[in-house]
Amino acid sequence: MLSQTDQDNIEQEVSLRVIENLTREKAASRAKKLLGQRCELCGYSKYVDAYFITPKSKGGTNSLNNIIILCPNHHKESSLGLISEEQLLSIVGKRGSLKNFF
């Protein structure tokens, strides 16, 4: 059985993760609204998702300069490392004044 302190710590950690996920979801939603519903690599528009270039576990943030809008194919290729972080960041860097919006 867990002590009250351990239970409190677990509840606090769960609460923080929920807040982080909501913040992440809000950032992703805002990015899609600002950048449009098109893959920034190929222009596909039936379904897109916000892709976080540098994961939070590696120091990434929920800022727009760490998010790129990708179709399912490019999202998977990016996740597998077939499209490098440098390539994605290069595209983000070409957005101009939007990149520091968040």
Tell me which residue has tokens 């994605």.
Answer: 88
Q: Are 32 and 48 in contact (CB under 8 A)?
A: yes
Residues 14-61 have pLDDT tens digits of 544 544 566 888 888 888 888 889 999 999 999 999 999 998 889 888
CA neighbor of 61 nearest in space, from 50, 70, 72, 74: 50
Q: Residue 69: which H helix or E strand, with range?
A: strand 67-70
Instruction: Please state the domain extents for the chain.
Output: 4-100
> Average model confidence (pLDDT) for the chain?
82
What is the 8-class DSSP label of residue 50?
E
Q: Which two tokens stand for residue 17?
A: 């993760």
Identify the weakest region by mean pLDDT among 11-20, 54-63, 85-94: 11-20
Strand 67-70 relative to strand 49-52, pairing: antiparallel
Predicted confidence at residue 3, as pLDDT, reads: 77
